[in-house]
């Protein structure tokens, strides 16, 4: 019996390692090789296909729009369809979007390619990888997700240089072909052979398994039906925590879009040259490699509420540093502050779903949270532009974003209580 347990433990560790590596490969393929270099195509589309600026802008609005729709559908899809099948289809769709750009001879083909990439990124990128890793890591999920997310940032920083070189040497169509292959081949290998959604149905246990997890794994190995721990979705929908989190995610993404859309313009208005702005933005790229690991470490040690507050304090301070950054040094301080502390706010949703509601309905809760995030991303640039048009200054949108972050802090402190899940799970079991 001891020998069987030892072999089982080795197989368990091997599967955890394979799933973690596979998750990193999928993130790199979908995000680094496809999504992150997308903006480099805008000037070539404008030149080769004779598109005006409004048409080019709509191309990159089509992707988050498709992502928003997919986020609403992702929960039911992942709940009803095999995880590996969904990931494999997403990889193929993402690669197909790039091939649409290779063959594009019209504006419609470019839009179709952008929509396909939006679908592929949402169903095959960081979202499903986070859901999967929360199943495999009961302890240390923050660190695991942070490392996998940082791999995407690290590869992107290097790969974008390679994309620029390919553009120069072989043209954008050939470059998109190479990118499509980079997405498709390693992505399918990882989705078919490496990743598995959850350890329990395999008769395995997650890292940091509780006695409950061990018993569930034994039942699954014996062919018995296993109940996944967590709150039922009917209870989640009646929870003020659920709706508070939706509001938090819309507001925080709104603020994040303020930085993404306007940081270069604000720094330029403050008197910095294009080169100085490039130096500041590159500093942000460097910190982006490690910020998710830091955030994950705080989640593991202090919980999601304090981790979210850690981000919001960094974002709040970054707003005022950005507005007053008139030298290269001040701009670099802004980039490091926002990148290192405020940048990982995109990870708040999945950890809230896991820590507040458990794993039972994580596909549905994460799906709603991702939709709220996408909605904030769609509304952010539009609302910020409208606020700026009031008096032609960034002062009004800046104050609005500062207030929005303060509201996020208040909502987090009021609703994301560390003992919420345990208290409500006991209530659900007693009812």
Q: Looking at the structure, tell me whether residues 187 and 239 fall in a common domain.
A: no
Tell me the pTM: 0.81
Q: Looking at the structure, tell me whether residues 44 and 95 fall in a common domain.
A: yes
Query: CA 296 to CA 24: how far, in whole Å?
Result: 15
Q: Looking at the structure, tell me whether residues 157 and 243 fall in a common domain.
A: no
- Which of 153, 171, 197 marks a domain boundary? 197
Of the two residues 281 and 398, the one the predictor is more confident about is: 398
List, in order, residues 6 or more apart from 380 with CB less than 8 Å away: 253, 254, 255, 256, 257, 258, 261
Structure tokens at 392: 């032609």
Of the two residues 374 and 243, the one the predictor is more confident about is: 243
The reported pLDDT for the residue numbered 145 is 87
Q: What is the mean pLDDT of residues 221-246?
A: 86
Rounded alpha-carbon distances, angstroms, from residue 273 to 228, 246, 327: 55, 39, 10
Q: Looking at the structure, tell me whether residues 251 and 108 fall in a common domain.
A: no
Q: How confident is the model at residue 60 (pLDDT cuts 50, 70, 90)?
A: low
Q: What percentage of residues in the chain have a pLDDT greater than 70?
A: 91
Tens of pLDDT, residue by residue over 166-222, are 877 888 888 889 889 989 999 999 999 999 998 888 888 889 887 877 887 778 777
Q: What is the mean pLDDT of residues 135-143?
A: 88
Q: How confident is the model at residue 4 (pLDDT cuts 50, 70, 90)?
A: very low
Q: Looking at the structure, tell me whether residues 139 and 256 fall in a common domain.
A: no
- Which of 144, 172, 197 marks a domain boundary? 197
Q: Looking at the structure, tell me whether residues 16 and 145 fall in a common domain.
A: yes
Distance of CA 33 to the CA centre of its chain: 15
Check residue 140 and report its DSSP letter. Answer: S
Q: How many residues does the chain have?
A: 431
Q: How confident is the model at residue 1 (pLDDT cuts 50, 70, 90)?
A: very low
* Domain range for 325: 233-430
Query: CA 63 to CA 122: how far, in whole Å?
Result: 10
Q: Looking at the structure, tell me whether residues 37 and 137 fall in a common domain.
A: yes
Please give the tally of structural domains in the chain: 2
Mean of pLDDT over the chain: 83
The reported pLDDT for the residue numbered 343 is 66
Q: What percentage of residues in the chain have a pLDDT greater than 90?
A: 18
Using CB atoms within 10 A of its CB, is residue 38 exposed (0-12), middle (13-18) or buried (19+)? buried
60: domain CATH number is: 1.20.1250.20
Q: Looking at the structure, tell me whether residues 346 and 423 fall in a common domain.
A: yes
Cβ–Cβ under 8 Å, residues 117 and 80: no
pLDDT at 159 over 80: no
Q: Looking at the structure, tell me whether residues 254 and 129 fall in a common domain.
A: no
The reported pLDDT for the residue numbered 2 is 39
Q: How confident is the model at residue 422 (pLDDT cuts 50, 70, 90)?
A: low
List, in order, residues 6 or more apart from 10 with CB less than 8 Å away: none
């Amino acid at each position: 019996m001891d020998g069987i347990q030892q072999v089982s433990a080795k197989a368990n560790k091997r599967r955890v390692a394979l799933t973690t590596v596979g998750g990193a490969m999928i993130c790199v393929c979908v995000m680094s090789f496809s999504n992150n270099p997308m903006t480099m195509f805008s000037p070539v589309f404008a030149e080769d296909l004779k598109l005006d600026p409004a048409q080019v802008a709509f191309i990159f609005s089509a992707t988050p729009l498709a992502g928003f729709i997919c986020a609403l559908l992702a929960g039911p899809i992942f709940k009803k369809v095999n995880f590996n099948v969904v990931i494999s289809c997403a990889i193929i769709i993402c690669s197909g979007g790039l091939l649409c750009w290779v063959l594009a001879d019209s504006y419609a083909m470019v839009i179709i390619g952008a929509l396909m990439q939006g679908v592929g990124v949402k169903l095959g990128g960081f979202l499903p990888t986070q859901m999967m890793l929360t199943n495999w890591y009961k302890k240390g999920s923050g660190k695991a997700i942070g490392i996998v997310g940082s791999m995407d940032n690290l590869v992107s920083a290097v790969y974008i240089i390679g994309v620029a070189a390919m553009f120069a040497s072989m043209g954008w169509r050939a470059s998109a072909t190479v990118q499509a292959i980079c997405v498709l081949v390693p992505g399918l290998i990882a989705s078919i052979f490496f990743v598995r959604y959850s350890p329990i149905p395999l008769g395995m246990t997650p890292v940091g398994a509780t006695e409950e997890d061990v018993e569930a794994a034994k039942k699954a190995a014996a062919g018995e039906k296993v109940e996944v721990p967590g709150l039922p979705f009917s209870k989640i929908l009646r929870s003020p925590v659920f709706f508070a989190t939706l509001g938090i995610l819309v507001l925080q993404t709104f603020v994040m879009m303020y930085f993404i859309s306007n940081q270069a313009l604000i720094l330029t208005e403050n008197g910095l040259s294009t080169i100085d702005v490039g130096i500041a933005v590159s500093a942000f790229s460097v910190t982006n490699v490690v910020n998710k690991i830091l955030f994950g470490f705080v989640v593991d040690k202090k919980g999601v509420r304090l981790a979210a507050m850690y981000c919001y304090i960094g974002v709040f301070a970054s707003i005022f540093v950005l507005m007053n950054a008139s030298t290269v040094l001040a701009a670099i301080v802004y980039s490091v502050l926002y990148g290192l502390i405020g940048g990982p706010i995109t990870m708040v949703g999945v950890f809230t779903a896991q820590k507040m509601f458990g794993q039972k309905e994580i596909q549905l809760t994460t799906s709603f949270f991702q939709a709220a995030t996408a909605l904030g991303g769609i509304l952010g640039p539009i609302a910020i532009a409208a606020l700026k048009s009031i008096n032609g200054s960034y002062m009004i949108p800046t104050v609005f974003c500062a207030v929005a972050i303060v509201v996020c802090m208040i909502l987090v402190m009021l609703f994301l209580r560390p003992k919420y899940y345990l208290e409500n799970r006991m209530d659900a079991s007693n009812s």
